[in-house]
Amino acid sequence: MTSLAKWVVGLALCTLTSINEGMAQYLTGVDRASFIAGTVNGCMRGYGTEGTDQMPRPLFEQYCRCYADGLADRLSMKELRDENPAIVKPVIQAEGRRCYQAMKDEAIRNYLRRN
């Protein structure tokens, strides 16, 4: 596992430990917005570590938002609360890969527009 992938998994596990017990089955409304904001903020704190400063900050933030939205879309509150690695880890890895690819695609589009 690459160091970026390890960082993403670690971030997600830290984020998941802060979830409120009283939330609904899936995140909606204020709870969803709060989860996404907290996950994005936690993710952005990692900017500048393990080579992440090699990419423009706005692209890294795009990755963080994509990742947070993906977790909120795919995991139920019970799954987030229970943190069962058999359920949560594959989603974390899949969302990390999906968002990393989206970030790379956006970087290529930006490069082609400028040149």
Domain extents in the chain:
3-19+30-114
DSSP state of 27: -
pLDDT single digits (tens) 73-83: 999 888 888 88
Give the chain's radius of gyration (CA, Å). 14
Lowest-confidence region among 3-7, 80-84, 98-102: 3-7
% of the chain exceeding 90 in pLDDT: 56
Question: Whole-model pTM?
Answer: 0.74
The DSSP output letter for 26 is: S
Give the integer Cα–Cα distance in Å for 96 and 92.
Answer: 6
DSSP labels, 46-100: TTTSTTGGGS-HHHHHHHHHHHHHHHHHH--HHHHHH--HHHHHHHHHHHHHHHH
pLDDT of residue 81: 86
Confidence label for 94 from pLDDT (cuts 50, 70 and 90): very high
Residue with tokens 């995991």: 75
